[in-house]
Amino acid sequence: MMPKISLKAARVNAEMTQDDVAHRLHKTKQTIVNWENGVTDIKFNDLRALSELYAMPIEYLNIPEKREKTKKS
């Protein structure tokens, strides 16, 4: 079984930049950054598109858990 790979590593292995992915998926670069850093959740259709774009099955992609925002004191 293949170990899971981070979204960033999958993107780099596909020789794509965050701008490239954003353009291909009709998203903003910030959206891609947020997905890779676990800031926002990825909808299934977007996850499937990433899987196809990176030529990698969804189950091999390590999706970061959404991080809770911390309040500044």
Domain that holds residue 56: 5-62
Specify the DSSP element, H or E, that contains 42. none
| pTM as predicted | 0.84
pLDDT for residue 25 is more than 60: yes
Distance CA(41)–CA(34), nearest Å, equals 8
Q: Is residue 72 part of a domain?
A: no
Predicted confidence at residue 69, as pLDDT, reads: 62
Q: Tens digit of pLDDT for each residue in 34-73? A: 999 999 999 999 999 999 999 999 999 998 887 766 555 4
Residue 53, domain CATH: 1.10.260.40
Predicted confidence at residue 71, as pLDDT, reads: 56
Q: Are 11 and 54 in contact (CB under 8 A)?
A: yes
